[in-house]
Amino acid sequence: MSASLPDIDTLTLAQQVAQMVVVRTCGYLFDHQIPYPDWEATNATMQHLVELGVGGVIFLGGSAAELALRSQQMQAWAKIPLLIAADIEEGVGQRFPGATWFAPPMAISQIARTNPHIAQQYAEQIGAITATEAIAIGINWILAPVVDVNNNPDNPVINVRAFGETPAVVSPLANAFIKGAKAYPVLTTAKHFPGHGDTTTDSHVDLPIIPHDPSRLAEIELAPFVSAIASGVDAVMSAHLLIECWDSQYPVTLSKPILTGQLREKLGFTGLIVTDALMMDAIAKRYGINESPVLAVEAGADILLMPSDPEGAINAVCEAVKSGQISAQRIRESVERIWHAKRQVGGIKIEPSKIALKLAKPESLLAASQILRCSQIVSGTIPLSPSPNGRNLIVVDNLLGSNKFLTEQSPSVALPKSLGYTTVLCDRHTPFDPAPETDNLPTLLQLFIRGNPFRGSSGLTQTGIDWFKKLLSSHNLQALVIYGSPYILEKLTPAIPLEIPCIFSYGQMPQAQTVALHLLFNK
């Protein structure tokens, strides 16, 4: 790749600024498959933006095999090789079916409680497998690890995405992930600087405020970033947070005292500074879709991730340079860092005939299964004797968004069905109105709940709470399985009779369901 990178001086200002922009599209091949048309560009628009010279693409959606074709397509359109990124914090399979999907990072901290050495080995293995599978389908930039310290159980957006609740746990596990990935030609990213773990507000929908003083920030929030930088992390992603003690006017993403003063100068970070998605409401609604990219570049950002109007952002930054608001040297410094990053990853040669041999290898799936098994929390009397006329009650946050882990063939549905259970599905929109004739049905209650972007809450829905209370009061709760947030387990545990089987899994994917239910029924 290094030979195909032009001399920066041969690029126009607009071409240099375009290299600082990373745009979002989906991994599906056809426009009619686009799931989020407000955020994801059509093929014609993507081809225009890539030919315009944007520096990178971030993918979401589509299968792993499709993404291999899409990344090849994007690179073929580009005159300058692209950085191709993805939020694959839980392995490539988290976003792109067909590849390995690991339990959320917090599962590793559960293992670290009893065996820190094994936990670090797992974290390193996840980093390595994620990197090799990413490369196989054309991804050269892993937007992970999350190094936030999730010390607020009500955090709606970080939650189980974090490696733990203290910097002493987070730092070594995040470093192990970085070590595993850095053995391969991919970029890693520590996020979300300087720490998004102690918030109750989702920055996708509003601007969280962090009230802590500098000494507290240094002790808790900053410690994993310092450690990740020392471990050679390639990029640091900014958080859309207002850190009042550092800058009472602008959030981190738009703050020069923070991105340049704290991250560049005080912590000595020399790699890529990338913004979190600029289309998120914490930034776009408050600071303007074309004004915020200018402020982010002024602040010290090298990469403008997912601006709402990519072409408008490029033009706005160019105008800021022409007016003297931003220096041409400031742009050049960012492009030089981008060039360094692109040389690091080199050219990825995708071999379509070998993709199936590189994804979800038996040893990778075994590692994912072992992590799920080792991080499960189990109580009560195990195994459970099946009830042929029992009810399998599955509660999710939103049925419309659960198709990645919940279908008719999912283990949480199919396995109890094979044992005689009748499945009932409900979500937060389902009215709680249990029929009297079901009052005596022994019930396996399965709760799928974790913090997710745009959800606004990490707590159990009212529907879930109502069913849990009803089953306890009627003595029909036969067993409880929770997939996702350990904080839900902590809240429900005091009310659960000691003899009732209870299994908690950090994962929600089919493999997590299999591991949990095989244990429950001794299959």
Model confidence band, residue 1 (pLDDT cutoffs 50, 70, 90)? very low
Question: 233: which strand partners?
Answer: none
Whether 394 shows a pLDDT value over 60: the answer reads yes
- Euclidean distance between CA atoms 163 and 169, whole angstroms: 7
| Alpha carbon distance 224, 191 (integer Å) | 10
Residue appearing with tokens 């994804």: 359
Q: How many CB atoms lie within 10 A of CB 270?
A: 9
Letter for the amino acid at 338?
Answer: I
Bridge partners (DSSP) listed for residue 448: 396, 483
**174-185: average pLDDT:** 97
Helix (H, G, I), strand (E, B) or coil at 57: strand
Q: Of 49, 89, 40, give the one whose Cα is nearest residue 453.
A: 89
Sheet holding 141-142, edge to edge: 141-142, 83-86, 56-59, 21-25, 304-305
Cα separation, 240 vs 237, whole angstroms: 10
Please tell me whether residue 426 adopts helix, strand or coil conformation.
strand
Q: Is the pLDDT of residue 124 over 70?
A: yes
Query: d(Cα 186, Cα 341) in Å, to the nearest integer?
Result: 9
Residue 197: helix, strand or coil by DSSP? coil
In tens, the pLDDT along 180-195 reads 999 999 999 999 999 9
Mean pLDDT in the chain? 93
DSSP H or E stretch at residue 520: helix 510-521
What is the distance in angstroms between the CA of the first residue and the CA of the last residue of the chain? 51
Q: Residue 119: in which H helix or E strand, if any?
A: helix 116-136
In this prediction, residue 2 has a pLDDT band, given cuts at 50, 70 and 90, of very low
Domains and CATH numbers, the chain: 15-358 (3.20.20.300), 376-521 (3.40.50.10870)
Count CB-CB contacts under 10 A for residue 257.
16
Q: How many CB atoms lie within 10 A of CB 165?
A: 17
List pLDDT tens digits, range 64-90: 999 999 999 999 999 999 999 999 999
Mark 193-215 as b/e (b = at least 16 C-beta within 10 Å).
bbbbbbbebbbbbebbebebeee
The confidence score (pLDDT) of residue 458 equals 59
pLDDT digits (tens, 9 = 90+) for 354-374: 888 899 999 999 999 999 999
pLDDT band at 3 (very low <50, low <70, confident <90, very high): very low
Calpha distance 523→520 (Å, rounded): 8
Tell me what percent of the residues of the chain surpass a pLDDT of 90: 82
How far apart (Å, rounded) are the C-alpha atoms in residues 359 and 93?
A: 9
Q: Rounded CA gap, 146 and 272, in Å?
A: 16
d(CA 124, CA 421): 40
pLDDT given at position 295: 98
Residue 417 bridge partners (DSSP): none
Are the beta carbons of 246 and 255 closer than 8 angstroms?
yes
Which residue, 510, 135, 103, 161, is CA-closest to 345? 135
Radius of gyration of the chain (CA): 23
**CB of 67 within 8 A of CB of 31?**
no
Rounded CA-CA distance 361/346 in Å is 24
Residue 419 one-letter amino acid:
L
- Give the tens place of pLDDT for each residue, 425-452: 998 888 887 777 667 899 999 999 986 6
Is the confidence at residue 203, as pLDDT, over 70?
Answer: no
Least Cα distance to 205 among 113, 290, 285, 109 occurs for: 285
Candidate from 389-393, 455-459, 462-466 with smallest mean pLDDT? 455-459
Q: What's residue 437's pLDDT? A: 62
Q: Are strands 235-238 and 189-193 parallel, antiparallel or unpaired?
A: parallel
Residue 262: DSSP 8-state: I
Chain centroid to CA 425: how far? 26
The catalytic residue among 204, 234, 302, 466 is 204
Residue among 419, 482, 420 nearest 447 (CA): 482
DSSP state at residue 161: G
Closest to 398 (Cα-Cα) out of 427, 371, 425: 427
| CA gap 314, 330 in Å, rounded | 15
User: CA-CA distance, 90 to 290, in Å (whole number)?
Assistant: 32
Q: How far is the C-alpha of 246 from the C-alpha of 262, rounded, in Å?
A: 9
Determine the Cα angle at 393 with ends 412 and 384, to 5°.
65
Q: Which of 172, 299, 154, 318 is CA-nearest to residue 238?
A: 299
Joined tokens for residue 517: 């239910």
Question: What are 314-362's pLDDT values in tens digits?
Answer: 999 999 999 999 999 999 999 999 999 999 998 878 887 788 889 999 9
Quickly list DSSP for 82-109: PEEEE--BTBGGGTSBTB--PPPTHHHH
204 carries an active-site annotation: yes
d(CA 48, CA 50): 6
Query: Residue 241: which of 227, 226, 262 has the closest Cα?
Result: 262
Indicate the SS3 state at residue 22: strand
Residue in 338, 409, 333 with CA at minimum distance from that of residue 21: 338
The answer on pLDDT for 417 being more than 80 is yes
Mean pLDDT within 254-271: 98
Q: Which candidate in 202, 276, 397, 427 is catalytic?
A: 276
